[in-house]
Chains A and B, each alone.
Chain A
């Protein structure tokens, strides 16, 4: 067989291949990976009929505070606790609420006030504690929801509930649902990325699990991909030693030629898909290092995120990466910051946790805003439940702690169609029960989907004989009052 005939049988020539596979040259180019609209035209589409209506946001950044921050020292100002301090929590307030095994043996439930002072901020007069001065400066962008409630009382089921809409493992996570429904806007990166950081406030933080960003019964290409702080930001991204880029490119060309031959013989469309996936993998090998390379970030921008931004793996660094991912139109950007489980030594430990996240969170909001990205980026900040008004252990001013509390807690949202300078929901004087405007975890899911242009009742898949949806079985609602 002559060389020419071989070449005809094996379209290893790049142009021939591109013509066949329908990929654009632009999508293969390595140089233009940063521009966020460059590849919008060829990125994978979502389900037919979606979005259901005009979206308010194109992407989500979820700043999950794992371990459950106390609402009393952050966003739910309870002035009456000053006088109730050290008094016994009345049964009329507790109303038979179940307790965790950690305080169910306690004989006394003394009310603990916040050690930290609150002041009002922004045009809406939002109450924010002194632990969060930078976030407070962004008050006009925030909608604080003080009336979140959940059904779970322990970390694992509670985090799982927030991330997947169910306390039981095995359901798709919020990011997977959104990637599945809306598809990708970027040809070179996965549509759902996850970053994890460890807090300084509690040495042995609650662990996380990779199923929290799993896809459940949805196809696994929608599961979150973890962006690591290690030298290799995505697993197996780097070529093995001894395999330089030009050899890798040659291998991929050779591989494509042989796979193309198999495709022509077997006509299995999976082969065509596999050829495309190898090319996407190759593009990710350039796009991801470029994503995490901060050489093009000016000092004044880095400063917005605080000094920790210079340390890989910190919450601050992850916030900066979140902005870079938002610029690249990644659909769902999930951060987890661990260490918010202040059963004891709350004043010291929570101060450290707050310091970890305060400036970076505020920096992220301000940076997105100055780039015009805040309008179509939905930001959510919060944990899996709240904490008790009564003290766990011995009540002292410096070492008091708080147990898990599912009945009410605070989160905030910003950007992407959310009203800024707003506070929503009210709790009683003890911060124990919701008085007004309750928001169930599944209501939050419905609201997030709504902001993305998705009707939460209509994004379903059959699972175990039923239609599975993020917002669960019960009737849930979009919290439309907080939408801009």
Chain B
């Protein structure tokens, strides 16, 4: 990573950056000379990108003893308030002398003329200073007045309208009911609407027809699964440890806790607090302990020969990075080795934050150990608890009898010894002793058998890893250059939040519970904003802050800052009510716009940051498969439980890991082949190929946003993977079964199932032509028809493998591959 230079960015990010630059540019151009320059929005990003690397918070890299990141230092001599021409800052930026010019030529950075003009104007206006917007707690903004339009349905729309108005744009037409229902069904449940749901909604003339749909979806048990999918990326949840051995672990109880929490609409502050510090609550429930698995989901080293402390430190660093990204939207990881170059997070801040997570009762390396490792808890089922109790009772009983028999036998032996002195009695005694000896052996065997049973039962009981602190506090030190073996032991650090964000008060415990309470305090500037931004991202494809993982100075400025604050303040006031927030968004006019775009608008705002149209985007990796399973009628809706292993090409695990880390991939059986993709086994070192192809992460580290790519490997997977070959046959079967014998109706139903809309006449005709083509082929090649209908674990019964069904299957393949089918 290049910390000093921020040079040209790549194409991926160029769009976002150019666009955001375009924003500031247009503001700059529109603003009259008198209009005050907004420091936080316009100036700070310029200083941060171009100056802070050498004149920022990082003391070690600071050049010429000059800081430009604090008001006091910057205005000492570099900036003369009210006089740009006299300010050294401007002189150096405008210098034509390579030795004097800033940024230095070797930094390969050059300020644009607009940026220099902005700086000049800001200084001439008195160089008013302000904090970075995200570090100032949000205040309830005034909702703009959208006069002369009936468009807005929610406060959200007033903010969006105001911005569109400034840009001279109009919102798009409302989406059709079908388009909206498809969008909101995927966004809230991850599944498509059924034809019956579409028809019922289309026929619903009541004034609250939309509200009823949203409420139905929010109440669906599949809502929690959809919500969990995004949270699992942030929590880097997986079924294996990662790193070299990549042994299995078993954290699905934590995953199921997440699904239940969302389904129950657990307030987001409680959701956060229980995951960070459930174990530190007074008398925590089993559920609250399970929740803390959040910070045990990180990767774990079991490679023989690894150094324990090195990897224990990595565990703690991961917790710092995940926690700060997930809840604060800050990239604290940089400050591990040096003060942050851009954000006010010092190395000291990092290690004080590190101290919150440094006291876990754990090892860094569980040498070659498989499965869950301490700290963990057992989660016996009620039956297992009962069986354990029965076993314990039996064991106690047998032990008591064994003890009694042993002491009786010992007494007898003593008696015999005494009698031994009387030689003639000994024969008789020896004979009589055989019976108690046999009884003793029997009891011993019984006790052993019971113990074995008990051990076996214990081994079968599900466990889950949790957070648990040690009694004796493990000291935290600054680590020189972030190295585990270079602690600066002259000073022991206590847990504390970054100093620029405040300080945990006297009354607050200096532990994870105190940290969690601070995070959900209404005065925290970041947590609520970060959360509502992610919900927005989930529904619009990108957040109001496009960098959902970075709210720092280098992050993307919000496209609608007041809307973000309005949502955040409302969210906290509502009691951190996630479902209420999503209801508000789903019913807004902004969200209800059509995703179709006129070319002029597309060129004007390619990434739809201004929200002049509805959010149209490709489905996620999980949704693409779940959709195929749902429309073909194969989906098994069962919620929760151990992860499952759907189709995957043979040999993938062996080719890489040699089967060394948990054996070969054994395909699941029965309806476990058709569970939602959320439950697909997540092996960190060998991603499930179709999930990875459609941009699912490998869950090695916290990830707040997925990419959306469009590749030939995706085409191959959708055309050729058994999942889709099987789904196509079942979709075809469904077209036959549910649409009756009329071909036109069969094709119409298939199209509607795949896309949630009726085909246009031209589409209907094209499907009919395709069908005729395939039917002619399969009529002449019945063997191919039979083969096409025999894929997967649920092949079409042999007597139904007709050329007609094969032809419909070929049509179904086309339908499952449509852009509209994999988009919403």
Contacts and interface: CB of A to CB of B under 8 A. Distances in A.
Contact of A239 (B685, B719, B819): B719
Contacts of B459: none
B303 A156 contact: yes
A263 B599 CA distance: 11
B5 A467 contact: yes
Contacts of A254: 766, 770, 814
B674 to A, nearest CB: 18
B552 to A, nearest CB: 6
A242 B244 contact: no
Interface stretch (A32-40, A132-140, A203-211, A427-435): A203-211
Contacts of B661: 207
A6 B765 contact: yes
A207 B304 contact: no
Interface stretch (A107-115, A274-282, A412-420): A274-282
Interface in A204-243: 204-211, 214, 217-221, 225-226, 228-230, 232, 234-243
A12 B763 CA distance: 12
B602 interface: yes
B465 to A, nearest CB: 20
Interface string B310-336: 000000000000000000000101100
B777 A468 contact: no
B5 A259 contact: no
Contacts of B7: 457-458, 460, 467
Nearest to A6: B765
B583 interface: no
30 contacts: A6-B762, A49-B8, A100-B307, A154-B303, A170-B701, A204-B658, A207-B660, A208-B685, A219-B12, A232-B649, A236-B716, A236-B720, A242-B787, A242-B788, A247-B774, A247-B810, A251-B810, A254-B814, A258-B814, A266-B596, A267-B598, A281-B715, A457-B5, A460-B9, A461-B9, A461-B10, A461-B13, A464-B550, A466-B334, A472-B1
A77 interface: no
B516 interface: no
B307 A235 contact: no
A338 B654 CA distance: 13
Nearest to A197: B655
B716 A235 contact: yes
A274 B814 contact: no
A444 interface: no
A372 interface: no
Contact of A464 (B331, B692, B817): B331
B406 interface: no
Contacts of A9: 762
Contacts of B596: 265-268
Contacts of B713: 190, 225, 234-236, 281
A458 B108 contact: yes
A36 B319 CA distance: 49
B148 interface: no
Interface string B694-736: 0100101100000101111111110111100100000000000
Contacts of A239: 719-720
A281 B819 contact: no
Which of B333, B650, B689, B813 has most A Cβ within 10 Å? Answer: B813
Contact of B244 (A207, A259, A458, A464): A207
Interface in B138-169: none
Contacts of B687: 210-211
Contacts of B788: 240-243
Interface in A246-271: 246-248, 250-251, 254-255, 257-259, 261-263, 265-271
Interface string B378-396: 0000000000000000000
Contacts of A221: 709-711
Given A47-B10, A214-B698, A251-B817, 18 more contacts: A98-B307, A100-B305, A168-B701, A210-B686, A211-B687, A211-B700, A236-B649, A242-B806, A243-B810, A244-B781, A247-B777, A258-B818, A267-B596, A268-B596, A284-B716, A467-B3, A467-B6, A468-B2
B790 interface: yes
- State the main secondary structure of chain B at its contact with A: loop
B3 A270 contact: no
Nearest to A46: B11
B284 interface: no
A4 to B, nearest CB: 12
Contacts of B436: none
A473 B2 contact: yes
Q: Which 6 A-B pairs have the closest CB atoms?
A: A242-B788, A242-B787, A465-B331, A281-B715, A209-B685, A102-B305
Chain B interface residue bracket vs A: 35 or more
B599 A267 contact: yes
A58 interface: no
B307 A196 contact: no
A116 interface: no
A400 interface: no
Nearest to B318: A168
Interface string B765-807: 1100110011001000100111111110000000000000010
Contact of A262 (B8, B618, B722, B818): B818
A463 interface: yes
Contact of B242 (A169, A220, A258, A263): A169
Interface string B236-250: 000000111110000
Given A241-B791, A270-B819, A234 B2 contact: no
B701 A465 contact: no
A381 interface: no
A257 B766 contact: yes
Given A211-B685, A230-B650, A277-B712, A266 B6 contact: no
Chain A interface residue bracket vs B: 35 or more
B107 to A, nearest CB: 10
A210 B765 contact: no
A274 B789 CA distance: 27
A228 B716 contact: no
B343 A460 contact: no
A218 B2 contact: no
A317 interface: no
Contact of B304 (A101, A262, A469): A101
A64 interface: no
Interface string B420-450: 0000000000000000000000000000000
A219 B108 contact: no
A209 B656 contact: yes
Nearest to A9: B762
B820 A262 contact: yes
A243 B810 CA distance: 8
B786 A156 contact: no
A273 to B, nearest CB: 5
Which of B770, B817, B819 has most A Cβ within 10 Å? Answer: B819
Contact of B307 (A101, A232, A240): A101
Contacts of B602: 267-269
A180 to B, nearest CB: 7
Given A10-B766, A196-B655, A180 B715 contact: no
A29 interface: no
A219 B655 contact: no
A59 interface: no
A57 B84 CA distance: 49
Given A154-B303, A240-B791, A266-B597, A234 B616 contact: no
Nearest to B708: A270
B642 interface: no
Interface in A171-218: 180-181, 190, 196, 198, 204-211, 214, 217-218
Contacts of A258: 763, 766, 814, 818
Which of B6, B765, B786 has most A Cβ within 10 Å? Answer: B765
Which of A102, A226, A251, A280 has most B Cβ within 10 Å? Answer: A251
Contacts of A466: 1-3, 331, 334, 341, 554
A273 B10 contact: no
Interface in B597-626: 597-599, 602, 606, 616, 618
